[in-house]
Amino acid sequence: MEYVSACAPGKINLALRVGQRRPDGFHDLDTVFEAVDIFDDVQVYAADGLSLSVTGLGADLPTDSSNIVIRAAKLLQERFGVRGGAKIELTKRIPVAGGMAGGSADAAAALTALNELWELGLSASELRALGAELGSDVPFALLGGIAHGTGRGEKLTALRPGALHGWVILANPEGLSTPEVFRAFDRQQYGPECRAQFPGAQNTGADRPADTKELRRAVQGEDLAAVGAQMKNDLLRPALSLRPDLADIFRKIGDEGYGSILSGSGASVAVLVSAQRLHTHTADLRRRFPGLRVFSAAGPAAGAHIKRSR
């Protein structure tokens, strides 16, 4: 094998319910992921060493071992004694620091492509287990579709969708740091700000996240209004504390479509619409938000997969 091209999708959290911080530093989550048809591509070529180049939206991203793609490659090399290397080319279309798991998609595509290039023969479940070592969202980027995520998001149960979903995504040129948003969540739920408002309280949030049972039922049906009514992101409040401008975006979106939600930790905002009227809603929101990158997507989409090889 000399060359493999693979891709992996971005995601939207239809709901993201957050519990207390765990001893390992992560938070317990109850979330519903949906993969959308915005894909980052990874092309890998047989080579002696490891190298990475990036084009597209993430052209200024680091290309050393701080990049999750290189970490994915090194994980495979070290775990399975791979002696060869790879020249890796990453083409990014998923917004950076937008809450759509673009980095996780890159890792998923790299694992998929290098598994093929290096002829490791790893199964889908084995790749997801490796992906969980790299990041909480990597297993879902490998799986795709719609799935219920628990634990820190890496424990997945696939859901059967009842309808195609249209999404208008408003990507902000200024992203948000996921760790910073979670730190703000902790301050609001369990920190001094909480104790000042509720004297004597240890926390105002549940130790365990709220469940997504009603949303999971809704996504397996055809009623988009029912889906929209159950969309909820517990990270919205901490994100707004860091980026008050997001509140104005939600205000201007108003009652467009079937509901809007901050994707992940932000700063992308996703509006659920019917697939039949996707282009109409996209054109309308582009006119209303000339300062944002507004684009359309559909879901659920396939997880990481091979596009071509030789």
Characterize the bridge pairing of strands 85-92 and 50-56: parallel
Catalytic residue chosen out of the listed positions 28, 40, 137, 234: 137
Contact 10, 36 (CB under 8 A): yes
Amino acid at 52: L
CA distance 90 to 6: 10
CA distance 5 to 114: 9
Residue 262 phi, psi (nearest 5): -70, 125
82-108: buried (b, 16+ CB within 10 Å) or exposed (e) per residue?
beebbbbbbbbbbbbbbbbbbbbbbbb
Q: Does 11 participate in catalysis according to the annotation? A: yes
Q: Does 137 participate in catalysis according to the annotation? A: yes
Residues 6+ apart with CB under 8 A from 62: none
CA distance 95 to 105: 11
Active-site residue set? 11, 137
